[in-house]
Structure 1
Amino acid sequence: MNILHIITGLTTGGAERALYNLLSGSLAESRSAAVLSLQDEGVYGPKIRSLGVPVYTLDMKRGISTPTVILRLRKLVTRLRPHLVQGWMYHGNIAASISARLGAGFRPVVAWNIRHSLYSLAAEKPLTRQIIRVNRWASVGADVVIYNSSLSRKQHEAFGFAMNPGQVIPNGFDTVSLFPDYERGQAARLALNMPLEAVVIGHVARFHPMKDHASFLRAVVDIMPKRPDVMCLLVGRDVDLQNPMLDRIVPPELESRFRIVGERDDVQDLMLAMDVFCQSSWSEAFPNVLGEAMALGVPCVATDVGDSRCIVGDTGEVVPPSDSDALARQLLSMLGRSAEERASLGQAGRQRIEERYALPKMVKQYSDLYTKLVSE
């Protein structure tokens, strides 16, 4: 079975990581796969190619299509002759539907993949609103619409997306490569000049308003005078205290207790350096970083968005979104537990990921679905 995955881009992000995990989790071995990025290779292109999966790019700018792009897409689809085209994210979904009609003498199955929550269309950027509306209209032509969270499916179908082909397949995590490792965590602390005895609150997310770094920073700033042993580690592209949306939240006298490291390729090591992980978004579908932190044995405090409550269960704390006071209270409550109690919660979180969200479960669900769709 030949499968072509079409994704908006291959930069660092949840959808890109999920595609890589799916391919590395043996799907590429059991199926003949190829990946097409509408933009460039980004971070994940070389990683995917290292799996033996060919990667193609269209080098589109800001999602703007041209006749040349359509011609290149047609040539690629005609050459690969996929049995199934899997779109990833809104632009990738539309490209998948278009590509299925470009093949000469064959019509592949079309699968969509939506990995975005839809609390309010007004909260999206103007161009994103337009592509969501196009997706709504075109969704009836997809053979299946895969969502990574139950809430995302409910929101999109309420907005008018086709209901019959909808299916939820949650994210999966490789618990073989994601595992607790005290020594790696301590080494990461030393590399960042963080005292080994400090209690570290961590956050991993690219800068975007929906990630709500501001609420997280306000919560941590509220905690620090009460807990002089607390330090904060932030990881993510474009995260900077000089950002106009974050400026002046952290008082100058507290800045030395923050470590802001930007985008990194050693995120697992940095997570292992954390005593508590915080996910502060006001909008998510299925946050990968939350599952990764749990797989690494780090206890979590998360906002109640997307499927976060279902992911965390009783192994951590969940608070309302956009409420820095509630976030501060629950972080303080987590910090008030002994190191042994936090470790126990971390172990329970890892066990929950192993039981519910292990990567082989996700791979099998996709594999079974693809076999079913192509054989119909």
Structure 2
Amino acid sequence: GKRLDASGVNVYFMGMRRGVPHPRGIWKLKQLIRKIRPDVIQTWMYHADLLGGLAARMAGKTPVIWNIRHSNLDPKDNKKTTLWTAKVCALLSRRIPRRIVCCSEASRQIHEAIGYDQEKLLVIPNGFDLDAYRPDKEGRRMVNRLIGESVNQSVGGEMGPNTLLIGMMARFDPQKDHRNLVQAAGLLREWGVDCCFVLCGNGVDAKNSQLSGWIRDAGVEDRFFLLGPRDDIPTITTGLDIACLSSVGEGFPNVLGEAMACEVPCVATDVGDCADIVGDTGRIVPPRNPDALAGAIRELVEMGGEGRKQLGRAARERVRERYELGSVVKRYEGLYEDVVGLRD
């Protein structure tokens, strides 16, 4: 909200609590829509799609665009309220939205399968600012300094001069499967691979007893730095040797594109559109498979610095060709113009 406000975009705070929307919240949002009279209403993710869609229909005939950021609806990995909301949205998809934007092809296919209106589904990938995310030769030095300043948030890591740094930027959530990465780290230690791990994201700090317990059980306390939420992710990313994503579910994970734009090769699980994003510039492994994850990381470690640099340069070029922010913005602009032209 603060960044949008600083850029001159009006931000309205509705004062709603998380969870099931209260009827009063829908009414307040309806009143706001009538007041500001937008040309298009775009909502992001299931709860906002449901809440915003209902409020928009109550307020009038402003065209609505839903946006879906999810591609894993396995009951083991989702809250019941999330699954329920997705099913309700599927039922309403023929009545409320004019278009439904998915961030990945995997997401489009999954939501078509559960009943979303296939005629309205389309894919627009995420875009990346290549000026904000770019290689920086000073990145590693800056990361070393950040790690030193954040030692109290670490489990107890120690890095040597030749230690490779592997990073994962993800909130602590079942979908991200941090345990998979921790178990892979344990295997890498057994194999004698000299590497440390820096983790960033909400809930990823030493106060997280579950995560700290996994790290302790794997015997890798001296290999992890837990930095919690950060607002300097581009700086940290440029200092990595390898970026990792151990998820069981993703749509279109920004962290992969951001790392690739920084010329950092990636190892990711084969969920969502990860394989399509990374292509042949990194390694893709099955989810929930620490052996495969560790093996792919070891492969990138053993190819040496020049091999990783070649992958990194190819990765940035792939982002430039497929996901450059300006081209994605143009696709959204075209969508908005199309939807406004369809207004009743």
TM-score (norm 2): 0.91
Cα distance 1:74–1:251, how it changes in 2: closer, same or farther (>3 A)?
A: closer
* Shift in Å, 1:119: 4.3
Q: Percent identity?
A: 39
Q: Is the counterpart of residue 170 in structure 1 residue 125 in structure 2?
A: yes
Deviation at 1:50, TM superposition (A): 1.4
Q: In 2 relative to 1, CA 248–88 (structure 1 residues): closer, same or farther, beyond 3 Å?
A: closer
Say which of 226, 236, 240 aligns to 2:201: 236
1:271 maps to which residue? 237
Structure 2 residue 187 is matched with structure 1 residue 203: no
Contact (CA 8 Å) 1:217, 1:250: kept in 2 or not? no
- Partner residue of 1:129? 83
Maintained 8 Å contact 2:27/2:55: no
The structural deviation recorded for 1:326 is 0.6
Aligned partner (choices 303, 315, 322) of residue 349 of structure 1: 315
Instruction: Give secondary structure in 2 for the equivalent of 1:57.
Output: coil
| Distance in 1 of aligned mates of 2:193 and 2:184 | 14
Q: Which residue does 1:70 correspond to in 2? A: 26
Report the counterpart of residue 51 of structure 1 in structure 2.
7
| 1:277 maps to amino acid | A
Question: What letter corresponds to residue 178 of structure 2 in structure 1?
Answer: H
Give yes or no for the alignment of 1:93 onto 2:57: no
User: Matched residue of 2:312: which SS?
Assistant: helix
Q: Point out where structure 1 has 5 or more consecutive residues left out of the alignment.
A: 1-44
CA 1:273 to 1:337, structure 2 compared with 1: closer, same or farther past 3 Å? same
- Residue by residue over 1:150-187, the C-alpha shift from the partner in whole angstroms, topping out at 9 and shown as x without a partner, is 01010011011111111100000001111000113322
Query: Pick from 284, 296, 310: which aligns with 1:318?
Result: 284
Deviation at 1:99, TM superposition (A): 2.3
Hey, what does 2:152 align to over in structure 1? none
Encode CA deviations 1:116-164: one digit per residue, 9 max, x unaligned: 0134245321111211111111111211000000010100110111111
**Equivalent of residue 69 in structure 2, options 109, 115, 119:** 115
Matched, 1:222 2:177: no
The one-letter amino acid of 1:90's match is Y
Given that 2:183 and 2:218 are in contact with CA atoms closer than 8 Å, whether structure 1 keeps it comes out as no
Contact 1:189 1:195 in 2 (8 A): no
Contact 1:172–1:362 under 8 Å retained in 2: yes
| Cα distance in 1, alignment partners of residues 222 and 301 from structure 2 | 20
Counterpart for residue 100 of structure 2: 145
3-state DSSP of counterpart to 1:96: helix
SS across alignment from 2:310:
helix
- TM-score, length basis structure 1: 0.84
Deviations 1:270-295 (A, max 9, x none): 11221011111011111110111101
Following the alignment from structure 1 to structure 2, what is the Cα–Cα distance between the partners of residues 331 and 366? 36
Counterpart selection for 1:212 from 173, 177, 200: 177
Question: Equivalent residue for 1:365?
Answer: 331
Segments of 5+ residues of structure 2 without an aligned counterpart are: 149-158
For the pair 1:180 / 2:135, whether they are aligned, the reply is: yes
Higher relative contact order (CA 8 A, sep 6+): 2
Q: Deviations over 1:54-90 (max 9, x none)?
A: 1112121123333432332122111111121111101
Shift of 1:251: 4.9
Q: Is the 8 A contact 2:125 2:328 kept in 1?
A: yes
User: Residues of 1 paired with 2:339 and 2:119: CA distance?
Assistant: 14
Equivalent position amino acid for 1:150 in 2: E
Specify the SS of the correspondent of 2:113: helix
Q: Secondary structure at the match of 1:250?
A: helix
In 2, distance between residues paired with 1:77 and 1:248?
A: 47
**C-alpha distance in 2, partners of 1:334/1:50?**
41
Q: Which residue in 2 is equivalent to 1:309?
A: 275
CA deviation profile, 1:306-360 (whole Å, cap 9, x unmatched): 0000000110000000000011111101100110110110111010000000001
Describe the shift of the 1:300–1:48 C-alpha distance in structure 2 as closer, same or farther (beyond 3 A): same
